[in-house]
């Protein structure tokens, strides 16, 4: 079979990582020609990963992968050449793999008689007034000769409008392609077995590659791992077991080098998202495992130690014979002493007493906070050796902090502190040109100065922090990411068991309170909406006319809370749907009008200044 592939890549840093090179080399065994289309004018690193390509085309980053496919078919390769192939593959770089050989993949799909096929598909889905038909997902589609030699195929691409955003790419291509050709008499098939998890009620169908990755790879003929689910919020659907499970499987049962996955994820995704999806919370035993030497580790305690001398002495007495413990003051001199003292060590435990203690509270509150810090960082020599074991076994781990304190006045305090300091952290990261993925809306995993860290990362973070110790922890996750490392949490098994009881107790109390107030809670999303309900009701009562800013998933989720007539507003330049949206520039400010902003926090920050500039009344969900 005379087969070609069009492979579209885009990287915001203009870097091509190893997983691309591996994919193309594997693909080459079953493809005669590979055309790589780069949605960028240049690549600054990783050109060797294009060695398997027949030809590489560069273009402006316009139209997403849809625009690149159109350019390749119509302009770069040309329709006449495309017609000569028995099969053309349209592929983008949004996934890792393959985890089996392409030879096996094509043997499997060649058993089916069809005109086009895909690696995966989404079954029919209905949500209130929103409906999508069954469709192949557009990251990997094969088109066979019968369809390649038709006017309809080329007219599809010639008529494709310029794609301006991700939503339009889904709307005008992914949701349209399958049914466009199905209606014209062409048949399709899918490599992945989705039927096993389909529901007779289309309301409960979902994007399977986003939620059950391990099952798809092990049992459902899916040889890839999509990247986008890293950014998906799982709490309204399931727990987060799949990413770590599928990576463990790939690492232990295939020839695929999972370091290629880590390299790309760490460079491109927020480390808080990676912490959640990769399950980087380590629950450790305090004895029983073979101990690791502690000669390369040092414990640094800073702040007003006198206030906690009785509690901390107990822990120091347990560990002092095997591990060095030093005390320093939170000052310029203390910081210099810290740097001098840790120079010969590989791992550093930093404990900041001043961060833990609160003056205006009961002493038992502080004692519990101190327990959470000391127990999970320096419980015993055998526990510390288990912490060291994590660093030694996983070279990608740069820092391990304690679980967030949630008892008494500490509940929510970490987020409040992040809101106060995030602008400063952003400024430091920008001014020092630290390569990381920063978001105002995502609190870093390391959000206190109580942690274990690789010494070189701590040294660099202190330097970036103007040689101050206080709040250096907030920088460490980003410094770790800039060095290709991850951040996690460590805790003792005893503390984890107790903390689980506390967390479940708080959650149950919240649900109970909402039921008492007449709110029916069936999911985490219901809880979020219930908390917002009163705010919406009060806002709606103020204004005669209500507009909803946004038409995406968040807007649909909150429609049921608005028992009134409303119109939709979208940003200028966005593509309108069938909801009769107004562009923001078309909205006439009126004291009797209010806008409910149903966007994520990042987009909210872009829209709010526009609303305030025009004196438009608004509230954010």
In this predicted structure, what is the pLDDT of residue 561? 72
Burial of 284 (0-12, 13-18, 19+ CB in 10 A): buried
In this predicted structure, what is the pLDDT of residue 307? 63
169 pLDDT above the threshold of 60:
yes
Mean pLDDT of 109-117: 95
Angle of CA points 571, 572, 574, to nearest 5°:
75
Q: Count Cβ atoms below 10 Å from residue 516 Cβ, excluding itself.
A: 8
In this predicted structure, what is the pLDDT of residue 434? 95
> Per mean pLDDT, which range of 109-118, 185-194, 303-312, 340-349 is the poorest?
303-312
In this predicted structure, what is the pLDDT of residue 349? 97
Q: Count Cβ atoms below 10 Å from residue 44 Cβ, excluding itself.
A: 11
Task: Show Cβ contacts of residue 566 under 8 Å, excluding neighbours closer than 6 positions.
Answer: 546, 547, 548, 596
d(CA 578, CA 600): 22
Hey, what are 412's tokens? 């929510």
In this predicted structure, what is the pLDDT of residue 359? 63
Q: Are 450 and 352 in contact (CB under 8 A)?
A: yes
Q: Are 491 and 481 in contact (CB under 8 A)?
A: no
Length of the chain: 621
Residues paired with 118 in a beta bridge = 141, 190
Q: Are 264 and 313 in contact (CB under 8 A)?
A: no
Angle between helices 381-393 and 309-319 (to 10 degrees): 70
Q: Count Cβ atoms below 10 Å from residue 186 Cβ, excluding itself.
A: 19
35 against 534, higher pLDDT: 35
185 pLDDT above the threshold of 90:
yes
Task: Show Cβ contacts of residue 81 under 8 Å, excluding neighbours closer than 6 positions.
Answer: none
In this predicted structure, what is the pLDDT of residue 596? 92
Tell which phi-psi region holds residue 466, choosing left (phi > 0), alpha (psi between -120 and 50) or beta. left
Give the residue carrying structure tokens 């399931």.
238
Residues 396-416 pLDDT 10s:
999 999 999 988 888 888 899
In this structure, the dihedral spanned by the alpha carbons of residues 16, 18, 20 and 21, taken in order and rounded to 10 degrees, is 110
Residues 344-359 pLDDT 10s:
999 999 998 776 666 6
Phi, psi of 582, rounded to the nearest 5 degrees: -100, 145
pTM for the model stands at: 0.90
1 pLDDT above the threshold of 70:
yes
Residues 203-251 pLDDT 10s:
999 999 999 999 999 999 999 999 988 988 777 777 778 899 999 999 9
In 207-221, which positions are buried (b, 16+ CB within 10 angstroms) versus exposed (e)?
A: bbbbbbbbbbbeebb
d(CA 493, CA 284): 5
- Own/partner pairs, 336-341, CB within 8 angstroms, 24+ separation: 336/467, 338/300, 338/302, 338/462, 338/469, 339/459, 339/462, 341/298, 341/300
Task: Show Cβ contacts of residue 406 under 8 Å, excluding neighbours closer than 6 positions.
Answer: 499, 502, 503, 506
Q: Are 458 and 252 in contact (CB under 8 A)?
A: no
Average pLDDT, the chain: 91
d(CA 608, CA 614): 10
Phi, psi of 437, rounded to the nearest 5 degrees: -110, 105
Q: Which of 358, 459, 330 is nearest to 417 (CA)?
A: 358
Residue 152 CA: distances (Å) to CA of 17, 76, 181, 183: 36, 19, 8, 11
In this predicted structure, what is the pLDDT of residue 290? 64
Q: Are 100 and 90 in contact (CB under 8 A)?
A: no
563 pLDDT above the threshold of 70:
no
């Amino acid at each position: 079979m005379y087969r070609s592939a069009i492979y579209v890549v885009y990287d915001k840093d203009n870097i091509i990582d190893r997983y691309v090179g591996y994919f193309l080399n594997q693909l080459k065994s079953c493809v005669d020609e590979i055309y790589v289309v780069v949605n960028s004018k240049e690549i600054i690193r990783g050109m060797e990963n294009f060695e398997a390509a027949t030809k590489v085309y560069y273009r402006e980053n316009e139209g997403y992968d849809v625009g690149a496919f159109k350019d390749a078919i119509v302009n770069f390769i040309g329709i006449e050449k495309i017609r000569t192939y028995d099969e053309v593959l349209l592929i983008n770089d949004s996934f890792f793999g393959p985890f089996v050989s392409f030879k096996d993949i094509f043997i499997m799909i060649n058993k089916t008689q069809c005109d086009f096929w895909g690696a995966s598909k989404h079954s029919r889905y209905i949500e209130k007034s929103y409906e999508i038909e069954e469709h192949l997902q557009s990251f990997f589609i094969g088109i066979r000769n019968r369809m390649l030699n038709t006017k309809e195929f080329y007219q599809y691409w010639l008529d494709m409008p310029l794609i301006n955003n991700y939503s339009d790419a889904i709307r005008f291509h992914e949701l349209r392609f399958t049914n466009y050709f199905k209606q014209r008499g062409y048949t399709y098939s899918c490599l992945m077995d989705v039927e096993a998890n389909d529901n007779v009620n289309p309301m409960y169908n979902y994007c399977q590659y986003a939620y059950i990755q391990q099952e798809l790879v092990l049992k459902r003929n899916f040889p890839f791992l999509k990247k986008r689910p890293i950014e998906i919020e799982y709490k309204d659907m399931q727990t987060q077991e799949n990413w770590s499970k599928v990576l463990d499987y790939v690492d232990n049962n295939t020839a695929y080098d999972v370091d290629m996955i880590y390299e790309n994820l760490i460079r491109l995704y927020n480390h808080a998202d990676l912490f959640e999806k990769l399950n980087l919370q380590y629950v450790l035993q305090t004895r029983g495992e073979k101990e690791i030497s502690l000669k390369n580790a040092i414990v640094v305690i800073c702040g007003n130690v006198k206030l906690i001398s009785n509690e901390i002495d107990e822990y120091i007495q347990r560990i002092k014979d095997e591990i060095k413990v030093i005390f320093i003051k939170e000052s310029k001199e203390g910081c210099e002493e810290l740097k001098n003292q840790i120079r010969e060590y590989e791992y550093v435990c930093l404990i900041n007493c001043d961060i833990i203690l609160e003056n205006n509270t009961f002493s038992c509150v502080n004692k519990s906070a101190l327990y959470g810090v000391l127990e999970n960082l320096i419980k015993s020599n055998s526990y510390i050796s288990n912490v060291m074991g994590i660093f030694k076994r996983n070279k990608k781990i740069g820092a391990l902090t304690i679980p967030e304190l949630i008892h008494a006045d500490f509940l929510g305090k970490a987020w409040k502190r992040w809101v106060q300091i995030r602008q400063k952290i952003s400024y430091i990261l920008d001014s020092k040109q630290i390569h990381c993925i920063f978001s105002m809306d995502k609190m870093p995993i390391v959000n206190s100065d109580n942690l274990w860290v690789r010494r070189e990362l701590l040294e660099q973070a202190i330097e970036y922090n103007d040689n101050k110790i206080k709040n250096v922890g907030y920088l460490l996750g980003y410094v770790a990411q800039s060095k290709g490392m991850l951040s996690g949490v460590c805790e003792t098994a005893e503390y984890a068991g107790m903390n689980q009881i506390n967390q479940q107790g708080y959650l149950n109390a919240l649900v109970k309170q909402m039921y008492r107030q007449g709110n029916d809670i069936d999911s985490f999303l219901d809880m979020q909406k219930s908390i917002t309900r009163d705010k919406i009701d009060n806002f709606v009562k103020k204004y005669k006319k209500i507009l909803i800013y946004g038409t995406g998933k968040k807007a649909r989720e909150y429609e049921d809370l608005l028992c009134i007539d409303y119109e939709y507003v979208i940003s200028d330049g966005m593509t309108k749907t069938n909801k009769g949206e107004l562009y923001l520039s078309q909205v006439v400010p009126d004291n009797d009008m209010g806008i409910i902003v149903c966007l994520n926090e990042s987009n909210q920050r872009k829209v709010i200044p526009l609303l305030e500039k025009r004196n438009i009344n608004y509230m954010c969900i």
